[in-house]
Structure 1
Amino acid sequence: MSDEHNPKMLSSAGHPLVETPNLDALAGRGTTFEAAYSNSPVCIPARASFATGRYIHQMGFWDNAQPYDGSIRSWHHQLRAAGHRVDSIGKLHFRSDEDDNGFSDSQIAMHVVEGLGDLMGLIREDLPVRGGSWKLAGMAGPGESLYSTYDRDIAARAQIWLHREAPKQDRPWVLFVSLVCPHFPLTAPPEFFYRYFNDPGLETPKLYAEAERPRHPYLEDYRNSFNYDDHFDSEEKLRTGVAAYMALCSFLDEQVGKILAALEAAGLTESTRVLYTSDHGDNVGARGLWGKSNMYEEVARVPTILAGADIPVGATCQTPITHVDVYPTITAAIGLETPDDLPGRDLIAVANEPTDPNRIAFSEYHGMGSTTGAFMIRKGNFKYVHYAAYPPQLFDLENDPEELNDVAEDPAFETTRQEMEDALRHICDPDNADTRAKRSQAALLEAHGGREAVIARGDLGFSVPPGHSPQFD
Structure 2
Amino acid sequence: MNVLFIMTDEHRKDAMGCANHSIVKTPNLDKLAENGVRFTNAYCNSPLCVPSRASFATGRYVHEIKCWDNAKPYSGNPESWGHFLSENGVSVTTVGKLHFLDGGGDGFYDQRFPEHLKLPGDIEGLYRDPIRKRKDGRNRIIEACEGDFWVDRTEQETEEAIRFLKFEAAKKDKPWVLWVSYLPPHFPLIVPEKYYKMYPEQKVDLPFDNPSLDNHPILDELRLHFDGQNIDEATLRKTRSAYYGLCSFIDDHVGRVLQVLKDSGLEEDTLVIYTSDHGESLGDHDLWWKCSMYEESVGIPLIISGPGIPKGSTISSPVSLIDITSTIAESVGIQPHPEWKGKSLLQLLNGNAIESQNEIVFSEYHAHGTSHGIFMIRKGKYKYIYFPHNRSQLFDLESDPKEMVNLAENPAFEEIKAQLYYELRKIVDPERIDAQALADQKQRLKEYQQHQELHQ
Shorter-chain TM range is: over 0.9
Do 1:310 and 1:348's aligned partners in 2 also have CA atoms closer than 8 Å? Answer: no
Q: What displacement does 1:447 show?
A: 1.1
1:254 and 2:256 correspond: no
CA–CA distance in structure 2, aligned partners of residues 204 and 335 of structure 1: 46
Do 1:384 and 1:394's aligned partners in 2 also have CA atoms closer than 8 Å? Answer: yes
Q: What displacement does 1:355 show?
A: 1.9
CA–CA distance in structure 2, aligned partners of residues 285 and 450 of structure 1: 37
- Deviations 1:26-56 (CA, angstroms, capped at 9, x unpaired): 1111111111100000000000111111000
Q: What displacement does 1:89 show?
A: 0.4
CA–CA distance in structure 1, aligned partners of residues 152 and 411 of structure 2: 53
- Deviations 1:236-288 (CA, angstroms, capped at 9, x unpaired): 11111111011111111011111111111211111100111100000011022
Among 178, 191, 203, the alignment partner of 1:188 is 191
SS at match of 1:389: coil
- Deviations 1:82-101 (CA, angstroms, capped at 9, x unpaired): 222111000000011x2222
- Judged with a 3 Å threshold, the aligned counterparts in structure 2 of structure 1 residues 308 and 215 are, in CA distance, closer, same or farther, namely same
Structure 2, unmatched stretches of 5+, are 1-6
SS at match of 1:93: strand
Among 322, 325, 346, the alignment partner of 1:324 is 322
1:462 equivalent in structure 2: none
Count of residue pairs brought into register by the alignment: 448
Runs of 4+ in 1 over 3 A off after TM superposition: 450-453
1:265 equivalent in structure 2: 263
> TM-score with structure 1 length normalisation?
0.92
1:82 equivalent in structure 2: 88
Within-5 A mapping of 1:41-120:
41-96=47-102, 98-112=103-117, 114-120=118-124
CA–CA distance in structure 2, aligned partners of residues 235 and 452 of structure 1: 41
Do 1:213 and 1:288's aligned partners in 2 also have CA atoms closer than 8 Å? Answer: no
Among 163, 168, 191, the alignment partner of 1:165 is 168
CA–CA distance in structure 1, aligned partners of residues 424 and 389 of structure 2: 16
CA–CA distance in structure 1, aligned partners of residues 15 and 450 of structure 2: 40
2:40 equivalent in structure 1: 34
1:143 and 2:141 correspond: no
Q: What displacement does 1:334 show?
A: 1.1
Aligned residue type for 1:140: A
* CA RMSD between the two structures: 1.7
1:155 and 2:158 correspond: yes
Q: What displacement does 1:450 show?
A: 6.0
Q: What displacement does 1:81 show?
A: 1.2
> TM-score with structure 2 length normalisation?
0.95
SS at match of 2:130: coil
Structure 1, unmatched stretches of 5+, are 458-473
Q: Which has the higher strand share?
A: 2
1:127 and 2:131 correspond: yes
CA–CA distance in structure 2, aligned partners of residues 280 and 414 of structure 1: 30
Aligned residue type for 1:427: I
SS at match of 1:369: coil
SS at match of 2:229: helix
User: Is 132-141 or 322-331 further displaced after alignment?
Assistant: 132-141
SS at match of 2:208: coil
CA–CA distance in structure 2, aligned partners of residues 287 and 71 of structure 1: 36
- Deviations 1:156-210 (CA, angstroms, capped at 9, x unpaired): 1111111111011000000000000000000011111111125x431211112x3
Do 2:28 and 2:255's aligned partners in 1 also have CA atoms closer than 8 Å? Answer: yes
- Judged with a 3 Å threshold, the aligned counterparts in structure 2 of structure 1 residues 366 and 451 are, in CA distance, closer, same or farther, namely farther
CA–CA distance in structure 2, aligned partners of residues 126 and 338 of structure 1: 41
CA–CA distance in structure 2, aligned partners of residues 407 and 107 of structure 1: 47
Do 2:74 and 2:104's aligned partners in 1 also have CA atoms closer than 8 Å? Answer: no
Within-5 A mapping of 1:227-306:
227-229=227-229, 232=231, 234-306=232-304
